[in-house]
Chain A
Amino acid sequence: MSEFHRFVVDGIIDPAVTLAAFAEQVGLSENEAEEFDRRFFDTPDGRLHADQSTLEVRNSVEFPLMCSLVWLKGGQVLASARVESGFSPDFAGSLPAGPAFDRLRELVEMRRFLPVATVRSRLSTGGHLDAEEKTTARVHIDLPSLPDGRSLPALIEVRAVRGYEAETAGLLRAMRAHEAFEPSDLSTADFARAMVGASPYLPGKLSLQLDDRASADEVWRVVLRELHEAMTANFRGTVEDVDSEYLHDFRVAVRRTRSVLQEGRGVLTPAARDHFRDGFKWLGDITTPTRDADVHLLDYPNMIAALSPEYAEALAPLHELLLSRQRSCQAQLALDLRSTRRAQLGAEWAEFLSGEGPWMDRSSGESGDAAEADRRARDVAAERIERAHSRLVRDGRTIDGSSEPEALHDLRKDAKRLRYLLECFGSLFPAEDLSVAVKPLKSLQDVLGEFQDTEVQAHALAQFGRQLDTEGASTDTILAMGGAIEQLSVRQSRARREFAARFESFDSREVEHAYASITGTGTTKSKKRKKKNR
């Protein structure tokens, strides 16, 4: 991507006048300005914003039927296509075909596009030319306003054409010296969102920065509050089924909460811990059928791609069945999430988290546990991580080619437990150790996940096949489903084969050192046991 600079045009003079004078001063070639109504779209978690790109449906004001979908980054059109007037993208599948939009599809994955801002812009594009009249820099000028007429900051953007950065330096010097120009990272869409008070994008990852001197009581509270926020942020989108990722992120927040509660022995009172563990287990369980249905649908394109085209076509009844199942599971989930039980759990949890006093009653008979709550969180978390790591290593080493699938499924649970601990409490430890610890764990989890998911899907497909058979599906459909199950079996076998290498990477000396550094357990029993095992 070429060098890109954006400036806000400030000052008391009309920005259009300032920009016209500047264009003349530095000799910009300028195309005639055109007015467009622009509707910007992004995913709920702001993937385009994070990518510093924008997606917009752009309608010419003068020719309302001239409508384009434009994906822009750094002043460069990455993809554009004519679309019907009134078009709004929803999922990646609604984007026009072609390699440029394929890259956008990869970026947004399964997320839905939501409208994030609407503006009317007076746009003009100019160029800074050399003696050969070759464009050495592209200059875009945007005079935007909101639909209610309120003005947004005027922007001037400069993109040096690749290989002509030196030729653009003079232009940029002139811009930096201009008293009305202020460098800005914000795009027109960002300004419009800020002006209308739009909600922030959903956070993609946990952004916990924990105090490593704080007590376990304080840190557990911070982590559980953060997870509660993630649950709350994804609740409405889950109920309304905006896209499958809301439910996914909601479930992750629930599972992490359960895990933090599980690891909170001695930090929370046993009564509260047990009560909420039960509550969140129930909450997790009611989301499982819909998530399974989502996974079937998300994996459907892979399933089709692995089959020959005629079989792929024959699977259409299965797709219908999957859609229908997803709809009914989702309807039940929405009811459950709106139920009194869920509301009560939510209210109790919010009240519990909002309390400022200590969770453990120091005066009760639980004094041993209370001491745990007062210890440094870093020490408590390190012990939990050490235990989870040792268990994963111990159980993983017992697995060989003859192990039952259940052994791998159990190992997946061990791996998840360790991963959640690292995700939730990782910021208490050195980032470099954490990076070495997480990467091979993630890789191991991927292969364990593939192993289990393919098995679960194969079982489900067999069940769907029987259902479709009784409903009178064609022989081709049943054969195609057999083919799909076969493909899942191939994938599962591949995952099984890959397990040994992934586990070996995880069980390496380098990774062991990273865990030892995190947990400070260079001479623990576990360490000695590991040495003995080698």
Chain B
Amino acid sequence: MKILATYNIKGGVGKTASAVNLAHVAAGRGNRVLLWDLDPQGAATFYFRVKPKVKGGGEALLSGRRELADVIKGSDYDNLDIVPADFSYRHLDLMLDDAKKPLARLRKVLSGVADEYDYVFLDCAPSISLTSESVFRAADALLVPVIPTTLSIRTFDQLDAFVAENPDIVRKLKIMGFFSMADSRKRLHRELMDELREQRPELLPSQVPMDTDIERMGVHRQPVTAMFPKSRPARAYQSLWDDIVERL
């Protein structure tokens, strides 16, 4: 079981859309996939029409009072299951702080379903906190969507700095950055992407375009890869998944 976390310190960069669509693509390729919506806002949960409620909340899961397997909900798609968001996740930092070995906690909770899934996607809330550190420890790779804007790139640098300063936390974590919400009509986007690809050749080759089809996910409450599988963004997510598998 590989654990992949869509993560960025900054919000609104396409983390949830990436988690939802990549999970759907991975499941469509025959992998058994679990998506855990760790963001208390519950956008991924909403897209899959699941109620954002976990019995006993995040505390029950982290303390081991409730098995992760007991709160999993099937999606409308074969091989793709969801652990819904819960409003209590806003206190995840405090819960982890109270737990023994907080950094190892998330991985331990996930180990209970290790035989059931090939890939787990963690859709994380934007921040650097105890929760995100626990995610770093649990995950095999961080999928980092980066909007080609100065501010977004700056947060990528911050993540880099954190990784460099905390080798004990990140351990063997692979960082996979990719351009998200890229608008090739904008000169600034094009220039920044060229510049950054030169500076960071390790960025994934595929990029997810800015596209209204992605915004329609909220209306249709479906992944764009399910709604419009031949669309430009759907093809981008499919290609992005190929890149990720190759790097894994």
- Chain A residues lying within 8 Å of B76, measured Cβ to Cβ, are 127, 134-135, 161
Q: Which single member of B31, B51, B74 contacts A132 (CB below 8 Å)?
A: B51
Instruction: Return A184 CB to nearest CB of chain B, in Å.
Output: 23
Is the CB–CB distance between A134 and B78 below 8 Å?
no
Is the CB–CB distance between A164 and B73 below 8 Å?
yes
Q: Which of B37-76 contact A (CB under 8 A)?
A: 48-51, 71-76
Q: Which of B30, B71, B72, B221 has the most CB of A within 10 A?
A: B30
Is the CB–CB distance between A164 and B30 below 8 Å?
no
- Chain A residues lying within 8 Å of B78, measured Cβ to Cβ, are 76-77
5 A-B pairs with CB atoms under 8 Å apart are A99-B29, A132-B49, A133-B221, A161-B73, A161-B76
With A132-B51, A133-B49, A134-B50 known to touch, is A162 a contact of B30 (CB < 8 Å)?
no
Q: Which single member of B29, B30, B49, B71 contacts A134 (CB below 8 Å)?
A: B49
Asked if A85 is an interface residue, CB under 8 A from chain B, the answer is: no
With A161-B74, A163-B74 known to touch, is A101 a contact of B50 (CB < 8 Å)?
no
Q: Which single member of B30, B71, B75 contacts A101 (CB below 8 Å)?
A: B30
User: Closest A-chain residue to B50, C-beta based?
Assistant: A134
A81 vs B50: C-alpha distance when bound (angstroms) = 28
Is the CB–CB distance between B49 and A162 below 8 Å?
no
- Listed in ascending order, the chain B residues whose CB lies under 8 Å from chain A are 29-31, 48-51, 71-76, 78-79, 81, 118, 221
Is the CB–CB distance between B50 and A162 below 8 Å?
no
Asked if A332 is an interface residue, CB under 8 A from chain B, the answer is: no
- Chain B residues lying within 8 Å of A133, measured Cβ to Cβ, are 49, 221
Number of A-B contacts (CB under 8 A): 46
A80 vs B29: C-alpha distance when bound (angstroms) = 8
Q: Which single member of B29, B81, B118 contacts A162 (CB below 8 Å)?
A: B81
A132 vs B46: C-alpha distance when bound (angstroms) = 10
Is the CB–CB distance between B73 and A100 below 8 Å?
no
Asked if A295 is an interface residue, CB under 8 A from chain B, the answer is: no
- Chain A residues lying within 8 Å of B48, measured Cβ to Cβ, are 134
A: number of interface residues (CB 8 Å): 20
A135 vs B81: C-alpha distance when bound (angstroms) = 12
- Chain A residues lying within 8 Å of B29, measured Cβ to Cβ, are 98-100
Asked if A331 is an interface residue, CB under 8 A from chain B, the answer is: no
A79 vs B29: C-alpha distance when bound (angstroms) = 8
Is the CB–CB distance between B71 and A163 below 8 Å?
yes
B-contact bits for A149-163, CB 8 A (1 contact / 0 none)? 000000000000111
- Chain B residues lying within 8 Å of A100, measured Cβ to Cβ, are 29-31, 79
A100 vs B81: C-alpha distance when bound (angstroms) = 16
- Chain B residues lying within 8 Å of A164, measured Cβ to Cβ, are 73-74
Known A78-B30, A127-B76, A163-B73; 9 more pairs at CB < 8 Å: A76-B78, A81-B30, A99-B30, A100-B79, A132-B51, A133-B49, A133-B221, A134-B49, A134-B50
Q: Which single member of A81, A127, A163 contacts B72 (CB below 8 Å)?
A: A163
User: Closest A-chain residue to B71, C-beta based?
Assistant: A163
B-contact bits for A249-276, CB 8 A (1 contact / 0 none)? 0000000000000000000000000000
A100 vs B48: C-alpha distance when bound (angstroms) = 23
A33 vs B74: C-alpha distance when bound (angstroms) = 24
Q: Which of B50, B75, B78, B221 has the most CB of A within 10 A?
A: B78
- Chain A residues lying within 8 Å of B74, measured Cβ to Cβ, are 2, 161-164
Kindly list the 6 A-B residue pairs having the minimum CB-CB distance in the complex, ordered from nearest: A100-B30, A163-B73, A162-B74, A134-B49, A161-B74, A135-B76
Q: Which single member of A78, A80, A162 contacts B73 (CB below 8 Å)?
A: A162
- Chain A residues lying within 8 Å of B30, measured Cβ to Cβ, are 78-81, 98-101
A81 vs B118: C-alpha distance when bound (angstroms) = 18
B-contact bits for A96-137, CB 8 A (1 contact / 0 none)? 001111000000000000000000000000010000111100
User: Closest A-chain residue to B76, C-beta based?
Assistant: A135
User: Closest B-chain residue to A2, C-beta based?
Assistant: B74
Instruction: Return B16 CB to nearest CB of chain A, in Å.
Output: 18
Instruction: Return B68 CB to nearest CB of chain A, in Å.
Output: 12
Instruction: Return A106 CB to nearest CB of chain B, in Å.
Output: 14
User: Closest B-chain residue to A133, C-beta based?
Assistant: B49
A163 vs B71: C-alpha distance when bound (angstroms) = 7
A132 vs B47: C-alpha distance when bound (angstroms) = 11
Is the CB–CB distance between A162 and B72 below 8 Å?
yes
- Chain B residues lying within 8 Å of A134, measured Cβ to Cβ, are 48-50, 76
- Chain B residues lying within 8 Å of A80, measured Cβ to Cβ, are 30
